Amino acid sequence: MNRIEYIASELTARKQIITCAESCTGGLLAAALTSVPGSSAFFQRGYVTYSDQAKCQLVNVNADTLRHYGAVSEEVVREMALGALIASKNDYALSISGIAGPDGGTPEKPVGTVWFGFATKQRIWAKQYQFSGSREEIRQQAVQYALAILEHYLKTTAA
């Protein structure tokens, strides 16, 4: 059973639903989650929040947080995950914001810098990872990393 099949099986068995708020992946995480038959049992909606305005409007990221920390930051992915969780009323939310390139990187946040958020009704986690490769490779790696976060949570948390 591959990662997405495990996630689908586990969420369905638990009768739990995941949502996502994506920036640099532009909906690829939602596409991955819905790539298995029966995905409507555990996925109802996702938010593609590519612009700062979309992050504020759709998942309630605070404009001051964006101004102070930038879109690619721990603070923003935490707010994205929480906002998506609240807006969807789901059990879990994954968020992704990063710099897929080829432009947009800085010395502090080079191309390939991606932040991930994961929210449950009890807690919010955030993690940063540095990927390499082309724009498409970075985006695909980010999706797989987000799925790995969810898979790990499901494997280490009782139903």
C-alpha–C-alpha distance, residues 125 and 107, integer Å: 25
pTM score, whole prediction: 0.97
| Contact of 90 with 17, CB cutoff 8 Å | yes
Phi, psi of 22 (to 5 degrees): -120, 140
3-state class of 115 per DSSP? Answer: strand
* pLDDT the model gives residue 78: 98
| Contact of 105 with 98, CB cutoff 8 Å | no
C-alpha–C-alpha distance, residues 126 and 77, integer Å: 7
pLDDT in tens, the chain (159 residues): 899 999 999 999 999 999 999 999 999 999 999 999 999 999 999 999 999 999 999 999 999 999 999 999 999 999 999 999 999 999 999 999 999 999 999 999 999 999 999 999 999 999 999 999 999 999 999 999 999 999 999 999 987
* pLDDT the model gives residue 159: 78
Q: Which CATH superfamily is domain 3-157 in?
A: CinA-like (3.90.950.20)
* pLDDT the model gives residue 51: 97
* pLDDT the model gives residue 128: 98
Phi, psi of 113 (to 5 degrees): -75, 125
* pLDDT the model gives residue 1: 85
For the chain, what are the domain ranges? 3-157
| Contact of 132 with 118, CB cutoff 8 Å | no
Token representation of residue 101: 């390139």
CA-wise closest residue to 43 among 35, 33, 32? 33
Q: Is residue 27 classed exposed, middle or buried when 0-12, 13-18 and 19+ CB atoms within 10 A define those classes? A: middle
